[in-house]
Chain A
């Protein structure tokens, strides 16, 4: 039987661009170029490696996001994923983590899965909570923050490098995993991959298709509210000296002045 892998990928504003908030205090996704979250490339990569090691596997990439989020799916498809699912609905604007996890969980169930692969965190929200929420909602094991992952005989194994210890983890499928940027460089799409991606199927789903009411998601349905967002004042220009033999002394002087030494 084919191993059904669903990779959750997010379309995010470019971190090197000028990210900011829209008037309704949601992340402005219109004025800033977006792309497939770099941390989700690692998820796609590990899914591809798991597929390559399996007899028979199929990778679906799933995104919840605006129309342009299709770019994120295309990138993942050009890396080698087989098909895409795009959940897009006007009522999704402003959905927070709890709401997004509901939509993703329903879409994953509808798609059918043995293994869900996520990135460690999205590069815009950087919460790193979705994978745990998905495991909770789907009622399957959570095998997260992995720097190494493999699947064999219906069992997923992985290494989790925590703050105080390194753990070897193991769970039976179906399961949700998330992988870190230590899991191995993501491949670049080949020209052939990019051409092939154009013909790969992408299914569009709306909230109705997932039996989700509009008031469960979106800005109105959100479980959290941003009340205020202010740009951090630019740090006032500091003192910069050129080292001509005295640099260390000058720096020590500064540190002493600040009572660090």
Chain B
């Protein structure tokens, strides 16, 4: 069976969930060969093997952390040349897309980004995408070279499928030309203890209606009662009420949870672009004309400062 390269997203050896989803999708096309780079690369092997990686190619060099993107492209290209895969899959993060873009140009291949599903086809993998703020679903295929495809988080449920996961060192020479952009400093984001926005099963978001940073704990309390991640509209972010990393929408994160709760958010097209594919959508808004109500499975017309805290209490009471 053909091999499929899977680029591993991990933090110091801890594999992030979207990579496990990639492995699950990769198995539909061929045998997953994982490429794990940087500090802790070898520590990723057991989780990757557990989810179907037949082989794990690892490389660690200071260049991966010291320079932006390009050294990782060199490494992925080395893996591509060693394996001659049927496809290369990467997570649809900002970095994943940029690595994919450069690799595609280098190896003379077409690229598809932000796939939400992937299946094998007679003429190569077929990728499903959700476009125009999720108002259309397209199916596309790459017609030149080896398909390079980035896949959005939450596109598949990770399935355990134990495989050999043989660790092999990948020989990588980082070209001088790939050391053009120095990472002068890196400040890790502080963990909030809440689930990651793009990976969470439930997301509770607040918008301009939350009316101040001091009121966001109302949203956080509901999120915590549900074990959810917290999101925000751009209006709330631009006002400085919540960090940009939590922004949902076209220029923020794109989320596709089982349940999305929007409080005090009108539902502008750019916001919808980031949440419209959520399975169940709930909104709380005092304006019954708000466009968000066109999307909802359940909507409450009312003041979020009454509804959200009361809902938090209900959830806590029911969960006991």
Contacts and interface: CB of A to CB of B under 8 A. Distances in A.
Contacts of B105: 98, 101, 133, 136-137
Interface residues of B, number: 90
Given A224-B143, A235-B294, A170 B111 contact: no
A1 interface: no
Interface string A141-166: 11111010000000001001111111
Nearest to B280: A258
Contacts of B110: 96, 98, 222-224
B164 interface: no
B104 interface: yes
B211 interface: no
Nearest to A97: B111
A2 interface: no
B307 A127 contact: no
Contacts of A223: 104, 109-111, 142-145
B314 A167 contact: no
B4 interface: no
Interface stretch (B47-55, B165-173, B183-191, B213-221): B183-191
B250 interface: yes
Interface of B: 11, 68-70, 73, 93-95, 97-102, 104-106, 109-114, 126, 130-145, 177, 180-189, 202, 226, 234, 244-245, 250-251, 258-259, 269-270, 273, 276, 280-282, 284, 288, 293-303, 306-308, 310-311, 313-315, 318-319
Interface of A: 15-16, 19-21, 25, 39, 96-98, 101, 120-121, 123-124, 126-133, 135-137, 139-145, 147, 157, 160-172, 175, 180-182, 222-232, 234-235, 238-243, 247-252, 254-256, 258, 260-261
Given A147-B244, A241-B299, 13 more contacts: A128-B113, A167-B183, A169-B184, A223-B143, A229-B138, A231-B136, A232-B134, A232-B135, A242-B302, A243-B303, A248-B307, A248-B311, A248-B313
Contact of A142 (B97, B98, B112, B296): B98
B293 to A, nearest CB: 6
B251 A181 contact: yes
What 3 A-B pairs have minimum CB-CB distances, sorted nearest first?
A: A243-B302, A223-B110, A141-B180
Given A132-B102, A224-B141, A120 B251 contact: yes
B300 A247 contact: yes
A20 B102 contact: no
Given A96-B110, A129-B101, A243-B303, A170 B135 contact: no
A243 B299 CA distance: 10
A243 B300 CA distance: 6
Contact of A226 (B138, B234, B298): B138
B183 A227 contact: no
Contacts of A123: 250
11 contacts: A127-B97, A133-B105, A163-B93, A167-B184, A169-B182, A223-B144, A224-B112, A229-B137, A242-B302, A254-B297, A255-B259
B133 A251 contact: no
A124 B129 CA distance: 13
A130 B104 CA distance: 11
Given A15-B133, A242-B301, A161 B245 contact: yes
A230 B288 CA distance: 30
